[in-house]
Amino acid sequence: MTMADHLPLVTGALRSPFKRPRPDAEFPRTRLVRSGVRVDLARLAAYERLCGFPTGEDGLPLTYPHVLAFPLAMRLMSGRDFPLPLLGLVHTSIDLTRHTALSATGAYELAVHIAGLAPHRRGTEATVVTEALAGGEVVWESRSTYLARHRTDAVPPAAPQERKPLPAGTEWRLGADIGRRYAAVSGDRNPIHLHPLTARLFGFPRPIAHGMWTVARCLAAHGTPEAVLVRAEFRAPVPLPGTVEYAAEGGRFELRRGDRLHVSGTVHPLPSRAGR
């Protein structure tokens, strides 16, 4: 990331104490666009190693366009007209759609906009939509929700339908530095991920893993087809350091610790656009 890319993080942090989030607040309708984006191959390789993807291949991991578009998303969410405080925002879910294989050496146009705000039982959620285009066609897109925690009168949702537990999986030991290492390759330096002292400022006794690192690590283990839709929910923070269990069966995957579910997701193959 360039110095210009880091500036929104600073301005967003400075503005955060003055934001008063609520689900009926006005939000920016701006669509930010960046054209001619190319991948830094050394940074990509560092990302792949940290998340468990194979290195040296031409294709981009499914989650990597999120990293490429992160500076645009930060510009949007750090703006004066974005009603939620940037500091302490928690990533709660993401839908990732890849329509065709993405080349690591290609050039992309990236676009980000806010789709809306919604009440949540713990505060207010914003939905952020990101698109990657090649040759004028959308080849990848995502839909993320981010939660600003605050007191609310929102009615808790109905209890989710119980699902058959996935079979026993593989244990992963997560070091205390995972948050800092992921921040270095992704640019996401939210203080809830970096250090116990900064995490405590936002109500977390320990730093927590980035949601996007957990889902990337799960997808690296699970594997995905060329054209795919992945839906993932970040159900509970993953404290660092710690031990978690990855489990998968068919098109489902989970990251859990004992009876506590941290991440759940589904993988749905789609018809490919390749060759059209």
- SS3 readout for the chain: CCHHHHHHHHHHHHHHHHCCCCCCCCCCCCEEEEEEEECCHHHHHHHHHHHCCCCCCCECCCCHHHHHHHHHHHHHHCCCCCCCCCCCCEEEEEEEEECCCCECCCEEEEEEEEEEEEEECCEEEEEEEEEEEECCEEEEEEEEEEEEECCCCCCCCCCCCCCCCCCCCEEEEECCCHHHHHHHHHCCCCHHHCCHHHHHCCCCCCCECCHHHHHHHHHHHHCCCCCEEEEEEECCCCECCEEEEEEEECCEEEEEECCEEEEEEEEEECCCCCCC
End-to-end CA distance of the chain: 35
pTM over 0.85? The answer is: yes
Residue 12 has a pLDDT of: 56
Nearest 5°: phi and psi at 51? -95, -10
* Contact of 16 with 87, CB cutoff 8 Å: yes
Question: Tokens for 69?
Answer: 């578009």
User: pLDDT at position 86, please?
Assistant: 85
Query: For the chain, which ranges sit under pLDDT 50?
Result: 1-5, 275-276
Q: What is the pLDDT of residue 156?
A: 62
Please tell me the distance from the alpha carbon of residue 133 to that of residue 111, in angstroms, as a whole number.
Answer: 8
CA–CA separation, 70 vs 188, rounded Å? 8
State the amino acid at position 174 in one-letter form. L
How confident is the model at residue 189, as a pLDDT?
Answer: 86
Task: Decide the pairing of beta strands 90-98 and 107-120.
Answer: unpaired
How many Å apart are CA 108 and CA 119, to the nearest integer? 34
pLDDT reported for residue 273: 72
CA dist., res. 253 & res. 120, Å (int): 25
Is the CB of residue 140 less than 8 Å from the CB of residue 128?
A: no
| Structure confidence at residue 160 (pLDDT) | 58
CA distance 187 to 78: 14
Please, which residues have CB within 8 angstroms of residue 12's CB and are 6 or more apart in sequence? 74, 77, 78, 86, 87
